[in-house]
Amino acid sequence: MIDILIIEDEIAIAELLHMNLQLVGYNPHICEDGLKAESYLELNSPDLILLDIMLPEKDGYELLKTILPKEIPVIFLTAKGSVEEKVVGLKSGADDYITKPFAMVEVIARIDAVLKRYKKHSNKFVIDDIEVRFDEHKVFLNSNEINLTAKEFELLDILIKNKNIALSRDKLLELVWGYDYMGETRTVDVHIQKLRKKLSLEKRIVTVYKIGYRLESDI
Amino acid sequence: MRFWHKIFLLVIVVFLISFDVTAFMIINKSYNLVKQNDIERTLNETRIILKSVEDRISKVEKYYTELNTDNMQMYISPYGEYYKNQGVYLMIRKDDEILYSNFKEELPNIEKSSIEFNTINDTPYMFISIPFSDQSLTFTYIKDETILSDYRNEMSMYTFIISIIVSVCLSAIVIIMIIKLTKPIEDLNKTAKHISKGNYTERAEIKSKDEIGEFAQSFNTMTESIELHIKELSELTENKQRFIDDLSHELRTPIASIMGYSEFIKNANCTDTQKSKAIDYIYSESNRIQKLSEKLMILTSLKNDDLQIQEIDLHSLVNTVLQTLHSKISEKEIEAVTDLNVASVESDTVLLESLIQNILENAVKYSPHSGKIVIKSYAKDDLLFVTISDNGTGINKNELQKIKEPFYKTDKSRSTKSGGVGLGLSICEKICEKLGINMKINSKINEGTEIVLEFTTV
C-alpha cells in the first residue's frame, strides 16, 4: 500500500482528498498544520506528500525545507494560482503543483506520474483472477497471458489508476487517445467491450448511467 | 534660443552700444576742445603776423603808391616762406584780387572776416581771414589741420580696437558666469526629468540661498508631496489587490470543496456514509460562500450609504443585538451583563448596531462555556466610551496587529467550523471610520479580550 500524507488545514479539502485517494487504493493520512506534519514525519515516512502552502504554524515552503532531505516526493496543493507562485513552488523543490479548485482525476494522474518517476508505484495489480503487470505491459487471466492491444492496455491502466471513480467517455478518450484524437466516444465503448470480454470483467467494469465507466474493486 | 544665448547677446549688445556711444562722445568733446584751443592759438598767431605784415606794408607804402602782386610778393614772401615750412600759408587779397598767396591749391570762396574749415584734396585746412586795420586788404592765414583730424581718427580707431578686445574678454567672463549661474537650473531640469521617469525618491541639490535655491527648495517640497501621494496611492492599490487576492483565495477553497465533493458523489463508487459526509461538506462550504458574500455586501454598502445620525438609546440597541444573538448565547450558557451609565449616543442606528453585533459575535465565539460578557458605557473627559469585554481565549500580541486585516483568522479550523469568514473586524474597522469612533483592542491570552469604542465627534 502506498502511503500519502495530506498536509492541509482546510478540513473539507483534506477529507475530500482522503476519501478519493482511499478509493483508488492509496493509504492517505491527514495532518492539519505544519507542526503536526513535522511530528508525523519524524515517525513515518510516506511515499508522497500533498502539501498546502498556506498553513498555520509553519507554512508549506518552510515545511518543504525539512521534507526535501528525506527525499519524499512533494506535490504542492494550493489556492495560489498565479504563474509566479507556481514557479516559486516548483523552484523550491516540489515535484508538481496543483491549484484549487482541481479535478480529482488530475490529482490522481499527477500523483501517479510522480510516483512513477520515483519508481514507487506498484507494478502489479490483482483483481479476481486477473493480474496486471504494468512494467511488462502484460495481463494474465488465471495465469494465462492475454493479448491486449496497446490502447486496450492503456485503457485498463487508466481504469485501474482511477478505480472506484467513474470516468466519462470524453475523459477516457482524452487520457488514452490524447487531446487531438478526432474519434468518437463510440471508440471508448468498443474498447471497453473488448476489455470486458477478454478479461471477463463484465461485473467489474461498470457502466455508470449518463457518466461513463468505472472499475469497481474492494477497498 | 537657449537662455544663456539670450543673456550673452543682451550683455554684449548693451556693452558695445554703451561703450561706443560714450567713447564717441568723449572723443568728440575732446576734439572740439582741442580744435577750439587750436583756433584761438592760430587766431592770436594770425593777429601777430598780420600786425607785422601791416607794419611792413605801411613802411613800404611810403615808397609805392600802389600795391600790386609784384611788390607784395617782394614784401611778404620772406614771411610766406618762413611759415610755409611750418605748414602755414599766407594770402593777401584786395577785394577779390589776390595780391599774394603761397597756397598752391585751388582756393574756395572765403569771406573777408571769417574762420573757415575746408578740405581740399583730402587735406583739411583752417582759413582765418582778418581785414587790415584800414580795411583796404584782407589777410588770410591758412593752416594745415591734418594733425587735428588724424587725432580724431586715431582716437576712434583706438576706441574701436579697445571695444573689440574688451568685448572678447567680456564674452568669456559672461559665458563662464552664465554657465555658473544656470548650472543649478540645469541640474534642476535633470532632476525633474529623472522624477518624471518615475524616480520619485530623487531630490534636487540645494547649493545656494538665492531665488534658484528657493526654487529648488519648493521643487523638493513638491516632489516630496508627490512621492507621498504616489506612495499612498500604491499602498491603496496594493491593499485592494491584496483584498482581491485574499478574496479569490477565500472563494477558491470552498468552491474546490463543493466541486470535489459533487464530483465524488457523481463518480465514485462510495458508501452511503461517505455520500452523506460529502453532502454535509457541500452544504457547509456553500454556507461559507453565502456568509462571505453577505459580509462583502456589508463592506461594499458601507462605502456608499449616507449616514443618518440620530439620538440612539443604547439600552434598546444592546438588547436588540443580544436578542439576535440569543440562541448562540444561551447555547453556550454565557452570562451577558450590561452596565450602561450613559444611555444615549448620537450616531447611525444601523451601522452602530452592526458594529456592536459584530463585536459581540466575536466575543461569544471566543468565550468559553458559561463565560461572561460585559457591555459598559461611561463618559470620561467629555467623551463617551463603550466597552465590550469577555473572558475568552484572548489574542496574542503578534496576532493583535493582524486581526484587522481582511480574511485574517486567528484559529482557522475553528473559525471555519463556526462559519467565520475573517471579515468581521474589517467591517468593524470600516464602520468605526465612518462613525468617527476609535476602536482599541486590549487582550490577554486566556484572560479575555476587551474592545473599547471611543466616540469622538460625529
What pLDDT is stored for residue B324 in this prediction? 85
Residue B458 pLDDT grade (very low, low, confident, very high; cuts 50, 70, 90): very low
Residue appearing with cell numbers 498546502? A52
Span B1-40, pLDDT tens digits: 777 888 888 988 999 899 989 988 998 999 899 889 988 9
Among residues A198, A199, A175, A195, the alpha carbon closest in space to that of A185 is found at: A175
Span B215-253, pLDDT tens digits: 888 988 998 998 899 899 999 898 888 888 878 878 888
Q: Could you give the CA distance from residue B368 to residue B39 in angstroms, rounded to a whole number?
A: 129
A166 touches chain B (CB under 8 A): yes
Q: Which helix (H) or strand (E) holds B386?
A: strand B383-390
Q: Could you give the CA distance from residue B441 to residue B248 in angstroms, rounded to a whole number?
A: 28
The counts of H helices and E strands in chain B are: 11, 12
Instruction: Measure A92 CA to nearest chain B CA, in Å.
Output: 21
A164 touches chain B (CB under 8 A): yes
* Eight-state DSSP code of residue B395: -
Instruction: Measure B294 CA to nearest chain A CA, in Å.
Output: 21
Residues of B in contact with A58 (CB under 8 A): none
Q: Where are the beta strands (DSSP E) in B70-193?
A: 88-94, 97-101, 114-120, 123-131, 138-144
- For range B306-325, the mean pLDDT: 86
ipTM: 0.84
- For range B427-437, the mean pLDDT: 85
Q: Could you give the CA distance from residue A204 to residue A163 in angstroms, rounded to a whole number?
A: 10
Residues B257/A10, Cβ–Cβ less than 8 Å: yes
Residue of chain A with shortest Cα separation from B256: A101
What pLDDT is stored for residue B270 in this prediction? 83
CB atoms within 10 A of CB B206: 16
The counts of H helices and E strands in chain A are: 8, 12
Angle at B273 between CA B270 and CA B278, to 5 degrees: 75
Span A141-197, pLDDT tens digits: 888 888 888 888 989 988 988 888 888 888 888 888 886 777 777 888 888 998 888
- For range A72-91, the mean pLDDT: 83
Residue B325 pLDDT grade (very low, low, confident, very high; cuts 50, 70, 90): confident
What pLDDT is stored for residue B78 in this prediction? 79
Span A54-65, pLDDT tens digits: 887 778 888 888
Angle at B361 between CA A52 and CA B290, to 5 degrees: 55
Q: What is the CA radius of gyration of chain B?
A: 57
Residues A139/A131, Cβ–Cβ less than 8 Å: yes
Q: Do B267 and A11 touch (CB under 8 A)?
A: no
B260 touches chain A (CB under 8 A): yes
Q: Could you give the CA distance from residue B454 to residue B190 in angstroms, rounded to a whole number?
A: 50
Amino acid letter, A1: M
A161 touches chain B (CB under 8 A): no
Q: Do A100 and B256 touch (CB under 8 A)?
A: yes
Provide, rounded to the nearest whole percent, the portion of chain B with pLDDT above 90.
11
Q: Could you give the CA distance from residue A43 to residue A111 in angstroms, rounded to a whole number?
A: 23
A80 touches chain B (CB under 8 A): yes
Q: Is B206 left (phi over 0), alpha (psi -120 to 50) or beta?
A: beta
Distances (CA, A) of A15 to A29, A217, B80, B261, B280: 10, 21, 145, 10, 12
What pLDDT is stored for residue A171 in this prediction? 85
Span B47-79, pLDDT tens digits: 888 888 888 777 777 776 666 777 777 777 877
